[in-house]
Structure 1
Amino acid sequence: MSETPPSLLGLTTYLLSKTGKAARSRLAARLADRDMRLWHMAVLSALVDFGPHVQRELASRLGIDRSDIVKIVDDLAVAGLIDRARDTGDRRRVTVTPTPAGRAALRELQAEALTVQETLLAPLTGSEQAQLAALLRRVHAHVHEGAEESKAGR
């Protein structure tokens, strides 16, 4: 028997929040088994998808506080998953690049994420899963376009 009030079950924002929290928790647990966190996966994903980044720009792209990105990058560097290089013209600039081991680790993390996704979406047919993904991408784009417009209006 569900303890959730029916009036909350009628709110899509509530369902998104609770489902997202459950998904995040399950994925975080799977990544923790590999001594990784969600931000580690996000940084590796950005570096593999978009190429090397200056550390400060990487923080901005992912919405990570600059002080937090230092710890995340340190963790990944110690694990041999990224390389860091100081800019010879500006010693404050550090460029971060994924290593082959980092690319391999990301593939493993993505496989873990897909396993979690398959478990969470098991009640849906393949077609419904594709439809859900398309709808969520559309809402995600709308939300992030609004955030960019808010930043531009400042």
Structure 2
Amino acid sequence: MPLDPTPTAALGLWHHVTLLQVKDDARDLTLRQLAILLHVYLVPPPHTVRGLAGTLNVTKPVITRALNTMGEMGLVDRVRDDLDRRNVLVKRTVAGALYLEKLGDLIIHQARMMRG
């Protein structure tokens, strides 16, 4: 795949990566859950439910449902903010970091495969 891919090539890469994720035995994430997870890991903390809702332009219950699922998977943790007990902080986990590292490796591998 070229360094400056066409939209079709970029979509082809995304297609291959998502197919491999769905074929994997592990539970897959919705696009919203993946966006939340990437935000938590790629944007410096702190991350709050309220902040994530604002960033994704959704309600707090939408974020809470996504975090419930990702918490069950061990990808994130939630704790009360000691400085402001009204806030719930979203914390990174080792399992979440490993999930995204594996995803990143998969994207790199597929991009190289498409380059030929």
- What is the TM-score of this pair, normalised by structure 1? 0.54
Q: Which has the higher relative contact order, 1 or 2, with Cα contacts under 8 A spaced 6 or more apart?
A: 2
Question: Larger radius of gyration, structure 1 or 2?
Answer: 1
Uncovered stretches (5+) of structure 2, i.e. residues with no partner: 1-5
Percent of residue pairs identical: 23
In structure 2, the CA distance between the partners of 1:64 and 1:76, relative to structure 1 (3 Å rule), is farther
Q: CA deviation at 1:79?
A: 0.8
> RMSD across aligned C-alpha pairs, in angstroms?
2.6
Q: CA deviation at 1:111?
A: 0.9
Which structure carries more helix by proportion? 1
How many residue pairs match? The answer is: 105
In structure 2, the CA distance between the partners of 1:35 and 1:64, relative to structure 1 (3 Å rule), is farther
Aligned counterpart, 1:31: 21
Equivalent position to 1:60, from 50, 54, 66: 54
Uncovered stretches (5+) of structure 1, i.e. residues with no partner: 1-14, 124-154
Which letter maps to 2:18? A
Q: CA deviation at 1:59?
A: 3.7
1:44–1:103 CA contact under 8 A, matched in 2: no
Which letter maps to 1:97? K
